[in-house]
Structure 1
């Protein structure tokens, strides 16, 4: 199991230290982190000096993969704008003259959940811009529709009637902890037949849980997906702008669940 981390924390000096510490102390845990300096890559310029200093530090850890954030607005954003943002991330190393600014792929946010041929073509072309060539080290693509309806996820034709074959990971559930506990959601996530290596679950607004209960939550998520992120932040639009109090325990739980 691995961690998919929306790293929307502004990189003031020391702000990313919890990630650096976790990556160092848990070398067997893989982190895929999403960098989002300007709700995207800062079109027309590099990110500011704080990002220019912090992003290369991620390269010191073999278990950290970096993705650039691009929103598609559920495919209503002009495709040319999406391709331009992808290209901006790809040119960071050249423009900055720093190869350590190279990202490994793209995290497409606000992607559609229901199948449509136009939307499939749109996302396919965006994915090809990441997959083709060598501009991105891993050529890694993540889609985040936020929520796949339980009936769709449980459908025997979901793999054929979805966008899952043009992404490496799809976030099938990004919701509150309480909604995850809803019977329909929980059962669908446990019962689907999609390869778990293709799926991620992100839960926010967790209650105050003991480490033992957190271990159990991680085990249950693992029945649905190989990628996870949990946070106890409850403030809307702030879920991923800080390292929550459970981040360290989350990493420990993913790394076998044992108390230290």
Structure 2
């Protein structure tokens, strides 16, 4: 089996290339991740980016435990001090490169424009660290979960600007907020929508809506609050 790596340029996702950003907050015991592997292999035209969270961060060990190590080989992978964050990034970076950990997802990204220098420092440190020892592309994703100042799109490759339920997505207030994102930046925008119905037709319609808005990536799940298993909607595609 071969894999193809699609490089996402500095100023956004490859235009027209579908991207699914999967919050894979599932302990990889046994075949827990197998449904995602099966889906990704069956959809070679779609880029899947899996987010892992071994221990609310990388944990205290120099390398991940055996269960994470086994499955990571199959993936392409505002108040905290910067020094503490940099130490976590160092740990992730030092994991065996065969595990294919290829980026950093910054959860609970602050949305206050005053913290832009703080976020920029994290992104630039990550890039510098990866480029020191590897010519592989590294992905940086911010997750404020809300629409942010356009300047927030400068450093990361992707920005999650929506992480709520389908009913929230359809509210006039949310749609008005999303409309404020400049069209030229939307290829970096990601929507994570939970609490959908299990109708494939509804999921397909919402996927089309998000893509027509120019978003670079999405993740849909019928699970309330996002859940901790691979979404049935994905499995049934």
Q: Does 1:247 align with 2:237?
A: no
- 2:227 and 2:63 map into 1 onto residues whose CA distance is 22
User: Contact (CA 8 Å) 1:8, 1:36: kept in 2 or not?
Assistant: yes
* Secondary structure of residue in 2 paired with 1:246: helix
In structure 1, runs of 5+ residues without a counterpart are 59-64, 67-74, 94-98, 253-260
2:162 maps to 173
- 1:123 and 1:191 map into 2 onto residues whose CA distance is 21
In structure 2, runs of 5+ residues without a counterpart are 1-17
1:223 maps to 212
1:82 maps to 85
1:59-103 per-residue CA deviation (whole Å, 9 max, x = no partner) reads xxxxxx32xxxxxxxx1011111000000011111xxxxx31241
Q: How far apart are residue 134 of structure 1 and its match?
A: 3.9
User: Contact (CA 8 Å) 1:109, 1:145: kept in 2 or not?
Assistant: yes
Q: How far apart are residue 135 of structure 1 and its match?
A: 4.3
CA RMSD of superposed structures (Å):
1.8
Q: Structure 1 length normalisation: TM-score? A: 0.77
1:139 maps to 138
1:194-243 per-residue CA deviation (whole Å, 9 max, x = no partner) reads 4222110001111232x222211101111331200011111x4xx24211
Q: Which one of 74, 89, 106 corresponds to residue 57 of structure 1?
A: 74
1:109 maps to 107
Residues 191 and 218 (structure 1), Cα distance of their counterparts in 2 relative to 1, 3 Å cut: farther
Q: How far apart are residue 49 of structure 1 and its match?
A: 1.2
1:92-117 per-residue CA deviation (whole Å, 9 max, x = no partner) reads 11xxxxx312411100011111300x
2:12 maps to none
- 1:180 and 1:212 map into 2 onto residues whose CA distance is 17
1:4 maps to 21
- 1:213 and 1:101 map into 2 onto residues whose CA distance is 36
Aligned length: 215
* Secondary structure of residue in 1 paired with 2:32: coil
1:70 maps to none
Q: Structure 2 length normalisation: TM-score? A: 0.84
Q: How far apart are residue 36 of structure 1 and its match?
A: 1.0
- 1:107 and 1:240 map into 2 onto residues whose CA distance is 18
- 2:100 and 2:62 map into 1 onto residues whose CA distance is 15
Q: How far apart are residue 52 of structure 1 and its match?
A: 1.2
Residues 28 and 240 (structure 1), Cα distance of their counterparts in 2 relative to 1, 3 Å cut: same
